[in-house]
Amino acid sequence: MGEKTTTIAEKITDTLKKNYMPYAMSVIVSRAIPEIDGFKPAHRKLLYTMYKMGLLKGGRTKSANIVGQTMRLNPHGDQAIYETMVRLTTGCESLLVPFIDSKGNFGKQYSRDMAYAAPRYTEAKLEEICEELFKDIDKDTVDFVDNYDGTMKEPLLLPATFPNIIVNPNQGIAVGMANNICSFNLKEVCQATIAYLEDEKVDISKYIKAPDFPTGGNIIYNAEEMKEIFETGRGSFRIRAVYNYDKKSNAIEITEIPYTTTVEAIIEKLVSLIKAGKIREINDIRDETDLGGLKITLDLKRSTDPDELMRKLYSLTPLEDSFNCNFNILVDGHPRVMGIKEILYEWTKFRINCIRRRTQYDINKKSEKRHLLLGLEKILLDIDKAIKIIRETEKEKEVIANLMKGFNIDEVQAEYVAEIKLRNLNKEYILNRTKEIESIDKELKALNALLKDEKKIKKVIAQELEMVAKKYGRPRKSKIISEEKIETLSKEDFIDDYNVKIFLTRQQYIKKISLVSLRAYSTQELKEGDEIIQEIEATNKSELLLFSDKQNVYKIKAYELEDTKASSLGDFIPNIVELEEGENIIFVAAASDKYEGDLLFAFENGKLVKIPLRLYETKQNRRKLINCFYGRSKCVAILHITEDIDILLKRSDNKVALINTSLVVKGNNKKAAGNQAVKVTKKSRLEAVLTVEDFSGNDVEQYRATSIPAKVQSIYTQIELNI
């Protein structure tokens, strides 16, 4: 017998936990999501390398040199490091507050195709504002960890003196989550943070009005949208391009575009619109971007209204775009979506900790110095004794021990005294040094008071923010425009409107035919065994309400239906709307913008009701409405009336009554049952509702009733009534 082999099947959930989850967490924590200092690890490693290279004060060096040095901290490859560097430069114009002063071609944020030069051609150094990123980094303000091979130390965070996390835009896609942080003006952020430090309940919107982007543009301000973004860290706002009209050359010059798009994307969209015949006012498009900045020129045809054209282009092209906010930030290793106040709270907590650590570092250093000076002060009592001890000590290693014994000082103090040069072992030098003890005591007292008082620490943070705002603050690049002042065009504005006829068939086909086409060929083509059950007039922009036999209403726009000819079968309704199983459309109503008129519903139980059409109007673009009319009895007819008319009610036992719809009660909700128009029996039911078109030419006045329930009378000329 062969050996019996067994295999152990591993659960897929265990495999994911073991292999995929560590990868996912690595991407979230170590790559894609920024931390409270505003940087992802790749940014931090690059900037810290440049700081250690002395590029904060010195001149520029080749980018290739920076990339090579950064690889000691970041092993992801030179191309990835250089791409990170490009985004942080002044030349790229990707950041509102760039951190790298660059020389050479670094591409542009607003251009997709403008390639940046190779690192051997470009040069860079740190911008002056980086002093605020690395302030007191050597004073134990932040934690340091080993690099990937344990040969160097690198900071976990940078002790930035301003909330860089919301000053510069940041975007990243992790595993199962993403972040998209818009930038805000540095000066406004500093002022808001100072106000927040004084009062945590402050209204941030008094200081930060709206985002600000390095590419400029006009931000369309909606108070509710902005409030949601500020409070939750989620939401969206619109930003549109800036243009001016050159009357002399009859051309529009676009000089600022949304941060989310590029020159190439805009031009490609314009070209496709012109080819499709949707834009006819433009003669030529030129990309005139040069060293002076971005410029897209549109040469216009004569008599073109530039403002009207731009309104069209804002609707049809990326010249107006949305920025979707997702303020997802790592705090203590955990991703959190936060509003601005919450971000400022976490940044303030981080910065308070930096100040405390710096203060403790200063206290320790000054205490050490004071301790040494106290030892020196004891030497002052008998300098000759100190010299004698050193001179008479036979072995060097015994000097420290003898000084400790002779002056009752500890080893550290003795080491300090022993290291003093012979020329400095005089009374004047020792007196001058020991005088520092008094000033050190005062400094220590102030530092200890600062360490214990959070209010004082917040004042220090506020002073630093004031300095940053004063020294590095710049005017807004993105202007703010109130939404009320914006004239917008919807996609519907570009759809042609014309008169059409809508045909509904029993086998659930719907046709839209223009009146011009209908006059040319009026014989309707139908599927075998099918028949037209309704025919209405509408326009191409009308909203069509499709009523079903399950009390549902489906809404579509007439222009969503294909323009057909009478010889076509039309659109099959189940292909247009998602009907329930066994559901059929029994009536179509065409509604204009005003939703005028009433819908008259007639039911088998003899009840009639008028429902105002406006009750079916919705503010949201809802495609399906449920429970839209009375459902306890089968609906036998629906009529759309704008004024009261005569109708003939026919019962299944061939009895009729003529009434005016003014007798029918008007319901105040969609499910109203109405009132009894005719009585029904166990053997009869209301079967049909006929209008004037159905009984014109017939003498039906004899069946008129002036009140309801109407008395029904037998008819004998059924064929003449067009039933």
Query: For residues 401 and 312, what is the distance between their CA atoms, to the nearest angstrom?
Result: 90
**Which residues are within 8 A (CB) of 422 and not within 5 positions of it... i.e. 6 or more apart?**
none
Confirm whether 616 is a catalytic residue: no
| Contact assessment for residue 204 and residue 227, using Cβ atoms and an 8 Å cutoff | no
Tokens 């930030």 correspond to 329
Q: Positive or negative CA dihedral for 89, 91, 94, 97?
A: positive
Question: Could you say which DSSP state residue 695 is in?
Answer: H
Burial category of 275 from C-beta neighbours within 10 Å (exposed 0-12, middle 13-18, buried 19 and up): exposed
Dihedral angle computed from the Cα positions of residues 128, 134, 136 and 139, in that order, rounded to the nearest 10 degrees: -150
For residue 255 the two structure tokens come to 């000089």
What count of Cα atoms within 13 Å lies in the side-chain half-sphere of residue 29? 11
Inter-CA distances, 441 with 377, 522, 623, Å:
15, 105, 77
Which strands form 499-505's sheet, in the order they lie side by side?
Answer: 532-539, 499-505, 509-514, 571-572
Inter-CA distances, 588 with 248, 510, 638, 693, Å:
54, 9, 9, 18
Is the previous residue joined to 709 through a cis bond, with omega within 30 degrees of 0? yes
Burial category of 397 from C-beta neighbours within 10 Å (exposed 0-12, middle 13-18, buried 19 and up): exposed
Inter-CA distances, 476 with 121, 325, 712, Å:
33, 20, 79
Q: What is the DSSP string of 159-189?
A: --SS-HHHHS-EEEE-SS-EEEE----HHHH
Active-site residue (options: 51, 82, 110, 121): 121
The SS3 assignment for 236 reads strand
Query: For residues 676 and 522, what is the distance between their CA atoms, to the nearest angstrom?
Result: 40
Q: Which residues are catalytic?
A: 121
